[in-house]
Amino acid sequence: GHTASVLRDGKVLVAGGFNGDLNIYLNSAILYDPSTRTWRKTDSMNNTRRFHTASVLSDGRVLVAGGFDGRTHLNSTELYDPLIGLWTTTGSMNDARQLHTASVLTNGKVLVTGGSGVIDVLNGAELYDPLTGLWTTIDHTNDARQLHTA
C-alpha cells in the first residue's frame, strides 16, 4: 500500500503504507540513496495513507493523491519538494478515491482515473494542474475500474 518514486537525483522516495503487524496506517516517508545503499527519514506526509498514488512532476516535486487512512477514502493531495525535504498540501481531488492510477502527461498535468470510491468503484477521471494546484473533473471512462496500472 505504499509508493516508491525515483527522484531526479536518483534517490527513491517511499511514502505511506500500512504496517500490518501493528495495524498502523503510515504517514512517514523515507529516502533510499542507491549510491550509498542507505535509508534516511525525511519529513512525514500530512495524512496517513495507503493505496494512494505518487507522481513525479516535471519540476521534480512528487504529487501524492488520495488513498485510505484507515477510516475513510481520501480526496486530499500533497506535494513533496525534494530540494527542501518538506510536504505541503495542495488542492483536493473532487472525488475521494483509493486504488486508482495517476499518469503525468506531456503537458505536465496529472491524469487520475478510476479507483475505489466511498461507495463503489469509480469511472471518473480528473486532471491536476501543478501551476494552479487545482483539480478539474473530465469525461468519465466507459467502465469503472480499480487496481489497474498506468
pLDDT grade for 150, boundaries at 50, 70 and 90: low
The total number of structural domains that make up the chain: 1
- Residue 149 above 80 pLDDT? no
- Asked if residue 116 lies in contact with residue 97, where contact means CB atoms within 8 angstroms, the answer is yes
Question: 104 in a domain, yes or no?
Answer: yes
Does 39 or 23 have the greater pLDDT score?
39
Question: 27 in a domain, yes or no?
Answer: yes
Question: 145 in a domain, yes or no?
Answer: no
Question: 143 in a domain, yes or no?
Answer: no
Task: Supply the pLDDT for residue 147.
Answer: 67
Question: 38 in a domain, yes or no?
Answer: yes
- Asked if residue 120 lies in contact with residue 114, where contact means CB atoms within 8 angstroms, the answer is no
- Asked if residue 112 lies in contact with residue 132, where contact means CB atoms within 8 angstroms, the answer is no
pTM value? 0.93
Rounded mean pLDDT, 15-43 = 95
Q: What is the pLDDT of residues 82-123, one digit of tens each?
A: 999 999 999 999 999 999 999 999 999 999 999 998 888 888
Question: 59 in a domain, yes or no?
Answer: yes
Extract the C-alpha cell encoding 34.
Answer: 542507491
Q: What percentage of the chain reaches a pLDDT higher than 90?
A: 83
Containing structural domain, residue 17: 3-138
Q: Burial letters for 1-31: b for 16+ Cβ neighbours within 10 Å, e otherwise?
A: bbbebebeeebebbbbbbeeeeeebbbbbeb
Question: 150 in a domain, yes or no?
Answer: no
Looking up residue 115, the CATH number of its domain turns out to be: 2.120.10.80
Task: Supply the pLDDT for residue 87.
Answer: 99
- Asked if residue 130 lies in contact with residue 108, where contact means CB atoms within 8 angstroms, the answer is yes
| 53 beta partners | 65
Question: 148 in a domain, yes or no?
Answer: no
Q: What percentage of the chain reaches a pLDDT higher than 70?
A: 97
Q: What is the pLDDT of residues 49-95, one digit of tens each?
A: 999 999 999 999 999 999 999 999 999 999 999 999 999 999 999 99
- Residue 38 above 90 pLDDT? yes
Question: Cα-atom radius of gyration of the chain, to the nearest Å?
Answer: 15
